[in-house]
């Protein structure tokens, strides 16, 4: 039974990362918005959900940071409210950040979004009244209290997100997004607002990242700012690029290959020396894989399908 | 005010040289290289290797560290970026690849030294008052070295053959190639200079504080903030931007809250990107209409 439990753990993590990957596909694959701030929106979703659902008081925290009389702003709402709040908050934060950022050229956007994610990380680390800083939030309830049932919930949400992403590919708004990706001048000459198209894509992707954050908080049952560092962002980028940018099936495959086998699957190999050695070796392998894939197979394992004209009529 | 001046100058000294190096690299190679942050870390750790493990004096280990960092930069350029540049991929792809390369470098450092912070073994010095400043000998040495090296790089760009080649290549690569400049050699020299400057900046950070394997990415975004504030195509702008960012960060640390000084740098970067995307010393006029018309949709 232990092996089954491991597989369940890995499968849940892979499913949550797949949601992040699909959101990145909306940003970068559909609309050519290189979002390097995934960890930031992931964190917004996770914290929004955790703060709304965590229990009001527990002794450990009171001792830790002098929060006598219960933690500030813990509401003990049910999971579904946490999930909706995570989506809404991530969308709002994404919208506010998008106002200045989406006016930038792609490479400037990439750098600025790393900065935004770092700023959110520092905010979570330092605003003790809201997030309790580096101690993080613990005792977040897992809905249904059962890991098997929770895995089914995660799979359901993954299926919904997958359907939404596939649908957006062919929907009118998705066609505008892809038009923006291919050529901004032609798209705007057809009367489409580039900024609005980019903003819709950005907000939809950020909302999906927020949903993934909420699932992560409820799955891990404890979150702390140290989880939302640029490494998380880079892992998502790497599996999206390896699996096949712009193809949702490729992204699922990439998540299974990189996150499932590489990141989580090697967790049970015997440790070499200090505890940081194995993760570092894994990350080196993943980084080299990214470089090799872009060098020799830039379209990823499963490339984007050539679109048929009749499908759009 | 006095402490703002001292700390501002010190932060400026750590940021100016990496900003200048990254500016040259971007100007000549025409893509954003995110490995640069980890090259800064690598420079600091290679110097640490000479200084702490082999027990060499600081100045000698610094020179050796700079040489090895330059070699690392050229190696990365030759093995990873050059083949892709030959394929004429778009700059964004190179940016993603440089991210992967940075991932590899950072984790190699992590394997070598572990996650804990390190300090160089340098003699402690007592701080003394010099005019309004309150600095130790090491810190004075750092500030003076930074200014001298920056002036040296500017003179090099202005008056030497290599400087002329670099300016010509950044202006118009095709024309330079037609006129018989070996662009590849200019790239290599640029990387050597950029990585040596990165190593200097990393070592200064180590002398003033501590170094650890994960410091690269945070430093990188701050340096990009310097470049964007000053003007990304202008080496003078890089140093000027470093001055502004350094003082803005230290003012935030003194008057608002120390953890938020990095956020102040990012905020300044985003404001400048909106108001004057070419930077303070860049060519364009200030675009107040973007700043005021936030919600107006863009017609490009």
Chain A CB within 8 Å of residue B114 CB: yes
- B298, pLDDT greater than 50: no
- B295, pLDDT greater than 90: no
> What is the mean pLDDT of the segment spanning A171-198?
91
CA neighbor of A92 nearest in space, from A247, A230, A202: A202
- For the stretch A135-178, pLDDT in tens is 788 788 888 878 889 999 999 999 999 999 999 988 999 999 99
The rounded distance, in Å, linking the Cα atoms of B250 and B244 is: 10
Q: What pLDDT sits at residue A312?
A: 56
The rounded distance, in Å, linking the Cα atoms of A158 and A164 is: 10
Within 13 Å, how many C-alpha atoms sit on residue A197's CB side?
28
By CB atoms closer than 10 A (0-12, 13-18, 19+), residue A129 is exposed
Q: What pLDDT sits at residue B284?
A: 58
Which one of A107, A188, A232 makes the best mutation probe of the B interface by having the most chain B beta carbons within 10 Å?
A107
- For the stretch B25-52, pLDDT in tens is 999 998 999 999 999 999 999 999 999 8
The contacts of residue B293 (CB under 8 Å, 6+ apart) are none
Chain A CB within 8 Å of residue B258 CB: no
Pairing of strands B133-135, B128-130: antiparallel
Q: Closest-CA residue in chain A for B32?
A: A107
Tokens 């004429």 sit at which residue? B88
- For the stretch B139-180, pLDDT in tens is 999 999 999 999 999 999 999 999 999 999 988 888 998 988
Work out the number of other CB atoms within 10 angstroms of the CB of residue A180.
25
Q: What pLDDT sits at residue A309?
A: 63
Chain B CB within 8 Å of residue A281 CB: yes
Please tell me whether residue B135 adopts helix, strand or coil conformation: strand
* pLDDT confidence tier of residue A301, bands split at 50, 70 and 90: confident
The rounded distance, in Å, linking the Cα atoms of B58 and B52 is: 9
CA distances from B11 to A75, B145, B254, B271 (A): 43, 14, 13, 21
Q: Among A94-98, B210-214, B233-237, B272-276, which range has the highest average pLDDT?
A: A94-98
A106 vs A21 pLDDT, higher one: A21
Strands (E), chain B: 128-130, 133-135
The contacts of residue B124 (CB under 8 Å, 6+ apart) are none
The contacts of residue A147 (CB under 8 Å, 6+ apart) are A8, A9, A12
Closest-CA distance, B141 to chain A, in angstroms, reads 31
- For the stretch A53-106, pLDDT in tens is 887 655 555 555 555 545 555 678 889 999 999 999 999 999 999 988 888 888
Please tell me whether residue B133 adopts helix, strand or coil conformation: strand
Work out the number of other CB atoms within 10 angstroms of the CB of residue B149.
18
Chain A CB within 8 Å of residue B94 CB: no
Chain A CB within 8 Å of residue B275 CB: no
> What is the mean pLDDT of the segment spanning A275-287?
87
CA neighbor of A93 nearest in space, from A136, A123, A129, A127: A123
The rounded distance, in Å, linking the Cα atoms of B78 and B146 is: 29
DSSP for B201-232, written as a single string = HHHHHHHHS-B-TT-HHHHHHHHHHHHHHH-T
Could B100 and A110 be called an inter-chain contact, meaning their C-beta atoms sit closer than 8 Å?
no
Query: With contact defined as beta carbons under 8 Å apart, do A228 and A16 qualify?
Result: no
Nearest by CB to B93, from A238, A279, A298: name it: A298
Q: What pLDDT sits at residue B300?
A: 38
The rounded distance, in Å, linking the Cα atoms of B28 and B165 is: 10
Q: What pLDDT sits at residue A42?
A: 96
Q: What pLDDT sits at residue A65?
A: 54
CA distances from B126 to B6, B50, B136, B208 (A): 15, 25, 6, 14
* Domain spans, chain B: 2-213
The average confidence (pLDDT) of chain A is 86
- Give Cα B291 distance to the centre of its chain: 28
Chain A CB within 8 Å of residue B223 CB: no
The average confidence (pLDDT) of chain B is 88
> Residue A312 has what DSSP assignment?
G
Phi then psi dihedrals of residue B298, to 5 deg: -85, 135
Q: Among A3-12, B11-20, B206-215, which range has the highest average pLDDT?
A: B11-20
* pLDDT confidence tier of residue B197, bands split at 50, 70 and 90: very high
Work out the number of other CB atoms within 10 angstroms of the CB of residue B39.
32
Share above pLDDT 90 across residues of chain B, in percent, rounded to a whole number: 59
CA neighbor of B84 nearest in space, from A128, A298, A190: A298
The rounded distance, in Å, linking the Cα atoms of B213 and B48 is: 12
- For the stretch A193-250, pLDDT in tens is 999 999 999 999 999 999 999 999 999 988 999 889 888 998 999 899 988 888 899 9
- B297, pLDDT greater than 50: no
* Domain spans, chain A: 2-312
Work out the number of other CB atoms within 10 angstroms of the CB of residue B232.
23
Q: Closest-CA residue in chain B for A192?
A: B299
- For the stretch B51-95, pLDDT in tens is 988 888 889 999 999 999 999 999 999 999 999 998 888 888 899
Task: Report residue B10 as tokens.
Answer: 């010190």
CATH entry 1.10.3470 includes domain A2-312: yes
CA distances from B199 to A11, B39, B71, B102, B140 (A): 42, 7, 11, 15, 19
Query: With contact defined as beta carbons under 8 Å apart, do B46 and B69 qualify?
Result: yes
Tokens 């118009």 sit at which residue? B172
């Amino acid at each position: 039974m232990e092996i089954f439990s491991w597989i369940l753990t890995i499968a849940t993590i892979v499913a949550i990362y797949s949601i992040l990957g699909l959101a990145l596909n909306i940003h970068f694959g559909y609309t050519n918005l290189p979002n390097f701030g995934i960890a930031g929106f992931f964190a917004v979703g996770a914290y929004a959900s955790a703060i709304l659902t965590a229990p009001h008081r527990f002794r450990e925290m009171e001792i830790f940071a002098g929060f006598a009389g219960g933690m500030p702003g813990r509401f003990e709402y049910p999971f579904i409210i946490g999930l909706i709040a995570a989506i809404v908050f991530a969308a709002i934060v994404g919208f506010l950040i998008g106002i200045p950022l989406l006016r930038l050229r792609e490479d400037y956007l990439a750098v600025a979004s790393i900065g935004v994610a770092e700023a959110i990380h520092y905010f979570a680390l330092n605003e003790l009244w809201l997030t309790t800083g580096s101690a993080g939030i613990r005792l977040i309830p897992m809905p249904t209290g059962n890991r098997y049932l929770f895995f089914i919930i995660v799979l359901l949400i993954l299926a919904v997100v997958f359907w939404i992403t596939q649908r957006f590919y062919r929907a009118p708004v998705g066609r505008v997004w892809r038009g923006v990706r291919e050529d901004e001048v032609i798209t705007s000459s057809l009367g489409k607002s580039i900024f609005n198209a980019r903003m819709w894509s950005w907000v939809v992707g950020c909302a999906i990242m927020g949903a993934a954050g909420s699932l992560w908080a409820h799955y891990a049952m404890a979150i702390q700012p140290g989880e939302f560092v640029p490494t998380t962002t880079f892992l998502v980028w790497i599996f999206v690029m390896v699996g096949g940018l712009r193809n949702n099936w490729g992204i699922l495959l990439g998540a299974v290959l990189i996150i499932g086998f590489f990141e989580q699957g090697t967790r049970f190999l015997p440790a070499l020396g200090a505890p940081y050695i194995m993760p570092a070796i894994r990350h080196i392998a993943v980084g080299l894989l990214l470089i090799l894939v872009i060098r020799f197979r830039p379209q990823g394992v499963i490339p984007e399908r050539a679109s048929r004209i009749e499908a759009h009529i | 005010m006095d402490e703002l001046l001292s700390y501002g100058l010190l932060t400026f000294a750590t940021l100016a040289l990496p900003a200048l190096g990254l500016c040259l690299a971007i100007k000549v190679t025409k893509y954003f290289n995110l490995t640069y942050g980890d090259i800064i870390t690598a420079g600091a750790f290679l110097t640490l290797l000479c200084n702490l493990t082999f027990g060499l004096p600081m100045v000698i280990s610094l020179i050796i560290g700079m040489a090895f960092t330059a070699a690392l930069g050229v190696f990365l350029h030759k093995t990873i970026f050059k083949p892709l540049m030959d394929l004429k991929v778009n700059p964004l792809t190179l940016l993603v690849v440089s991210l992967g390369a940075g991932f590899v470098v950072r984790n190699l450092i992590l394997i070598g030294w572990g996650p804990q912070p390190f300090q160089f073994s340098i003699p402690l010095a007592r701080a003394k008052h010099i005019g309004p400043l309150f600095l130790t000998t090491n810190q004075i040495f750092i500030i003076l070295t930074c200014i001298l090296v920056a002036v040296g790089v500017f003179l090099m760009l202005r008056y030497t053959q290599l400087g002329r080649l670099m300016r010509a290549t950044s202006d118009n690569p095709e024309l330079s190639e037609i006129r018989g400049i070996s662009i590849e050699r200019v790239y290599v020299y640029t990387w050597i200079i950029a990585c040596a400057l990165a190593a200097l900046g990393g070592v200064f950070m180590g002398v003033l504080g501590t170094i650890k394997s994960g410091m690269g990415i945070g430093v990188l975004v701050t340096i990009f903030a310097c470049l964007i504030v000053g003007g990304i195509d202008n080496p003078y702008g890089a140093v000027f931007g470093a001055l502004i960012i350094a003082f803005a960060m230290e003012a935030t640390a003194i008057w608002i809250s120390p953890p938020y000084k990095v956020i102040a740098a990012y905020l300044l970067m985003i404001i400048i990107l909106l108001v004057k995307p070419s930077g303070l010393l860049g060519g364009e006029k200030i675009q107040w209409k973007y700043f005021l018309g936030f919600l107006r949709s863009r017609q490009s």
